[in-house]
Structure 1
Amino acid sequence: MPLVSFSGAQAYANLRADRLSLWPDGRRDRTRLSGVASVGFKPSFTLKRGEAVFTAGSCFARNIEQRFSDLGFDVPATRLSLPPEERASDTGNDFLNKYPPQAILNEMRWALEPGAAYPQDGLFDLGDGLWHDPHLAPNLKPASLERVLERRALVTELYRQIPSCRIIVLTLGLVEAWFDEQTGYYLNGAPPAPVLARQPDRFRLDVLTVQEVEQSLKKISDLLSAYGQRKSRTLLTVSPVPMRNTFTGEDAISANAYSKAVMRVAAQSFARRKRVDYFPSYEIITHTSRSSAYIQDNRHVTPQAVKVIVDRVVEAYCPQLAPKPKAAPSAAYPKAATVMNALKTGDFAKAADLLADLGQRDDYVQAGFDEFTYRFEYGRTLLRLGSAAEAQAQLAAAVAAKPTSSDAIYQLARALARLQRPLDAEQAFRRAAELNPASVDIRLGLANQLSESGRFDEAEAEVQAVLAAHPEEAKAHTLGATIRNRREEAAEKAAAAAGPLAKRL
Structure 2
Amino acid sequence: MPILKQSASDAIRTFKHNSRRTNHLRDGDVKAEDRFMLAPVQSTSHRLRAGESIFTIGSCFARNVERHLDMMGFDVINRRIYDEAERLAILPGIDNRYTPFSMLNEFRWALDPDFRTDYEAALYKVGRGLCFDPHMHYAMRRFPVATALGRRDYLNECNRSITRCRTIIMTLGLAEAWWDSKLGLYLNWSPQMRWIDQEPDRFEFHLLGSEDVCEALESIYALLDIHGHPDFQILLTVSPIEMMATFRPMDASVANMHSKSILRAAAGAFVEKHQNVDYLPSFEIALLSDPWAVWAGDRVHIQDDAVDFIVRSVMAPYLADEGDVQAVRAADSLSERSHQKLFRKQRQLEKRLERLEMEKAHLETSVGNLQRSNTNYLRQILELQQSGD
- TM-score range (shorter-chain normalised) is 0.7 to 0.9
Q: CA deviation at 1:29?
A: 5.4
182-191 vs 287-296, which moves further: 287-296
Q: CA deviation at 1:119?
A: 2.5
Q: CA deviation at 1:35?
A: 3.4
Q: CA deviation at 1:41?
A: 1.1
Q: Distance in 2 between matches of 1:280 and 1:196?
A: 38
Count of matched residue pairs: 342
Q: Distance in 1 between matches of 2:346 and 2:333?
A: 14
Query: What code does the residue aligned with 2:259 have?
Result: S
CA 1:193 to 1:30, structure 2 compared with 1: closer, same or farther past 3 Å?
A: farther
TM-score (norm 2): 0.81
Q: Is the 8 A contact 2:80 2:158 kept in 1?
A: no
Q: Distance in 1 between matches of 2:192 and 2:341?
A: 39
Q: CA deviation at 1:71?
A: 1.1
Matched, 1:283 2:284: yes
Q: Is the 8 A contact 2:89 2:147 kept in 1?
A: no
Q: Distance in 1 between matches of 2:308 and 2:89?
A: 28
Q: State the identity as a percent.
A: 32
Q: Is the 8 A contact 1:24 1:33 kept in 2?
A: no
Uncovered stretches (5+) of structure 1, i.e. residues with no partner: 334-355, 373-396, 401-505
Q: Is the 8 A contact 2:78 2:159 kept in 1?
A: no
How does 1:301-316 map onto structure 2 within 5 Å?
301-316=302-317
Q: CA deviation at 1:235?
A: 0.6
Query: What code does the residue aligned with 2:118 have?
Result: P
Match of 1:491 in 2: none
Match of 2:97 in 1: 98
Q: CA deviation at 1:253?
A: 1.4
Match of 2:203 in 1: 203
- Partner of 1:142, secondary structure, is strand
TM-score (norm 1): 0.63
Q: Is the 8 A contact 1:78 1:93 kept in 2?
A: no
How does 1:476-487 map onto structure 2 within 5 Å?
none
CA 1:177 to 1:70, structure 2 compared with 1: closer, same or farther past 3 Å?
A: same
293-302 vs 20-29, which moves further: 20-29
Q: Distance in 2 between matches of 1:326 and 1:54?
A: 25
Match of 1:386 in 2: none
- Partner of 1:14, secondary structure, is helix
Match of 1:184 in 2: 184
Q: Distance in 1 between matches of 2:306 and 2:15?
A: 29
Query: What code does the residue aligned with 1:169 have?
Result: I
Query: What code does the residue aligned with 1:362 have?
Result: R
Match of 1:217 in 2: 217
Q: Distance in 2 between matches of 1:357 and 1:40?
A: 16
Q: Distance in 2 between matches of 1:318 and 1:19?
A: 20
CA 1:363 to 1:138, structure 2 compared with 1: closer, same or farther past 3 Å?
A: closer
CA 1:9 to 1:371, structure 2 compared with 1: closer, same or farther past 3 Å?
A: closer
CA deviations 1:144-168 (Å, max 9, x no partner) are 1121112212211121111011111
Matched, 1:113 2:95: no
- Partner of 2:44, secondary structure, is coil
Match of 1:479 in 2: none
Q: Distance in 1 between matches of 2:100 and 2:127?
A: 30
Q: Distance in 1 between matches of 2:285 and 2:80?
A: 28
Matched, 1:51 2:57: no
How does 1:466-481 map onto structure 2 within 5 Å?
none
Q: Is the 8 A contact 1:311 1:322 kept in 2?
A: no
Q: Distance in 2 between matches of 1:360 and 1:84?
A: 40
Match of 1:231 in 2: 231
Q: Distance in 1 between matches of 2:184 and 2:283?
A: 31
Q: Is the 8 A contact 1:86 1:141 kept in 2?
A: no
Matched, 1:360 2:342: yes
- Partner of 2:40, secondary structure, is coil
- Partner of 1:161, secondary structure, is helix
Q: Distance in 2 between matches of 1:18 and 1:276?
A: 20
Q: Is the 8 A contact 2:88 2:150 kept in 1?
A: no
Structure having the larger proportion of residues in strand? 2
Q: Is the 8 A contact 1:52 1:75 kept in 2?
A: yes
Q: CA deviation at 1:98?
A: 0.4
Match of 1:77 in 2: 78
Q: CA deviation at 1:129?
A: 2.6
Q: Distance in 2 between matches of 1:155 and 1:57?
A: 14
CA 1:224 to 1:157, structure 2 compared with 1: closer, same or farther past 3 Å?
A: same
CA deviations 1:234-264 (Å, max 9, x no partner) are 1111111111110011111111111111111
Match of 1:258 in 2: 258
Q: Is the 8 A contact 1:124 1:133 kept in 2?
A: yes
Match of 1:60 in 2: 61
CA deviations 1:65-122 (Å, max 9, x no partner) are 11111111111111223359957xxxx5401000110001111111111132332411
